[in-house]
Chain A
């Protein structure tokens, strides 16, 4: 019985990790919208971002605040926040964020080949690249909604920023639902 539990645990853990990397591989691609030149390499900082640390607390992922963040600029085509909140319990978001606080290692083996993990030293020595950092993806209970926190930074010109991208799974494909700005730079 003990062996069975261990087996189930490892299978679940493996599937969960696999799902996270599958999501990253699917949504972070060299073909960025509005970018006319496809990248051959995505320079990824070698640690996961930890949303909930710094000025943005885990508690801030609550309904009023997410609603407040929802309209980066009021715009007629902004999708409804209610649908997101209906599918994504904020208490669950907070508990999931809590879980990832001590897990910042990125497994390069699980990522597509166009990802290049960059150390701080590499960033320092190659300031003209655009670097991105990502959080672990946070799924809802049904695993059909997901969000990821993403930041970009170009050291050479000191340009950066942080966003939260919300995706919904439609016909087994992750589709961008909305983007919230988490910080300006």
Chain B
């Protein structure tokens, strides 16, 4: 372990360096923590809120993990933090990276250091490093930080009113910087495990004078905290107030994102997306995407969501990573990964796929309307997809007006279907329910289209007039779309899931599921017109029941025996 000690005024530092291999010299436990852990500390969150004059991010994202202070003109990145705590738990600190549009130093941190009264003293810690030093630091290598770090207290009110005032009366403040390297430099852990690094101490010399002895690391350099049980942190005569920190830096967002999305491989190269990631103007949004995939361990579904999100952002859309919403489509957290992925694949349409994919215009137009509806139209319309215990394969709620004037539609996919149905049955159901949602959208956005008995939705209008039931009207409309639905589902599932070509009739039979009958139990007239023979009708029912996993019949097997649970 290497130790640095300094006794300085804030801008007049004297640093003493000492090398040692004894890890026990580090009196603080150091933990890298995430956003959720930070949020559990109400006092800390309140302190961050004090700094936050205005919240907001650049671009369309509405994430709140990046706290903006217009007063100080910087962002605090709360996605990553270093938590330090002394041995008896009486003191701790949080250190966050600071992001500026035009940084003047290589690395800036904001330090929240617990004070005796339970509040946090807030300071800006700057590290003036060369590019190579910065890179070395980020790579966990040893960097001599002597004379390269400085501290400035910025907690304006609290500091002016309390801390600075007390310092003027002769108290001392010591900043302890502990650097925790992930590498194993020569001074690292003897046993080869990650090195806790070395310490730097900045001891500000104040009117009362103080001397922190680095070779005698008792608890006197630890501030008295509210949780101090009374031992370990003496109320020394100088009333020392020390602050512990560790250089904390953002994860390499660009690099992480590119690697996660596989954009550095030839087969996945995507110049548009790569350029967007590397454009500094997009840093805040790019950071949101990168943090999202990082939080989700770069899972397949996180990758799909990120790609769809970037595409939406490129087209001026809106993404909310907290809500899991891309424009007007929100993916509920209860969706199993495979089902979420399937939805994202449907939303992505041809994107990422080869030109060999056949016509999926119905899928594209349905999801473009639903996916683009939140920001591209004056009418807010959000469709949430979830799974649940329901009758039937899927259910779509009506468009419910929320308190913000946004229409909310919920599509619920049956848990039974996810459990027992094939991927083909699931895709068919998602499309079926999405068409219900699409028709709700059109009814709200363009209500006059539904009044024209000779217009695009004439079947729908006639169905309503005939049956006075909107379910029946929708299913009559959908019955006339079955061929198109089948063509789209067939092309999509062959390209994406390697399904066999099979016959058009087979895919059509699957898409009749949920449409064959009306609410009163009679046959859908479009179905009976197309298939007047009852044997043909039963054959179709057997095909979709087999794919849905609701019945088994002799001589009937799913096209591919798979599922999505």
Contacts and interface: CB of A to CB of B under 8 A. Distances in A.
Interface stretch (A9-17, A66-74, A80-88): A66-74
Contacts of B460: 73
Nearest to A67: B401
A61 to B, nearest CB: 10
A65 B447 CA distance: 16
B227 interface: no
Interface of A: 32-36, 54-56, 60, 64-65, 68-69, 71-75, 127, 130, 151-163, 179-185
6 cross-chain pairs, A with B, having the tightest CB-CB distances, nearest first: A161-B471, A181-B470, A72-B470, A130-B521, A184-B436, A153-B391
Nearest to A159: B517
B397 A183 contact: yes
B519 interface: yes
B160 interface: no
A176 B180 CA distance: 74
Given A35-B521, A157-B541, A163 B514 contact: no
Given A151-B391, A161-B471, A179-B469, A35 B522 contact: yes
A163 B517 CA distance: 16
A182 B436 CA distance: 12
B516 interface: yes
B473 A72 contact: yes
Contacts of A152: 519, 521
B520 A35 contact: yes
A158 B392 contact: yes
A145 B104 CA distance: 72
Contacts of A32: 520
Contact of B514 (A36, A60, A68, A158): A158
A75 B399 CA distance: 18
Interface residues of B, number: 52
Contacts of B519: 152, 159, 161, 163
Interface in B15-52: none
Given A75-B451, A130-B521, A55 B397 contact: yes
B207 interface: no
A130 B461 CA distance: 25
Contacts of A55: 397, 410, 412
Contacts of A183: 395-398
Given A56-B397, A159-B514, A153 B450 contact: no
Nearest to A76: B451
11 contacts: A35-B520, A65-B400, A152-B521, A157-B541, A158-B393, A158-B513, A158-B550, A160-B392, A183-B398, A184-B395, A185-B395
B531 interface: no
Given A154-B521, A158-B513, A159-B517, A73 B473 contact: yes
Most buried by B among A36, A127, A154, A159: A159
Contacts of B394: 185
Given A56-B400, A154-B521, A184-B436, 12 more contacts: A35-B520, A35-B522, A36-B522, A55-B397, A127-B551, A155-B391, A157-B514, A159-B475, A163-B470, A163-B519, A184-B474, A185-B392
Contact of B516 (A72, A159, A181): A159
B465 interface: yes
Contacts of A181: 398, 469-471
**Central interface residue in B393, B469, B548, by most chain A CB within 10 Å:** B469
Contacts of A72: 464, 470, 473
B347 to A, nearest CB: 20
Nearest to A77: B465
Contacts of B550: 127, 155, 158
B395 A74 contact: no
Interface string B445-473: 00110110000000011001111111101
Contacts of A151: 391
Nearest to B466: A34
A181 B521 CA distance: 17
A65 B391 contact: no
B443 interface: yes
A73 B469 CA distance: 10
Residue of B407, B513, B519 with most chain A CB atoms under a 10 A cut-off: B519
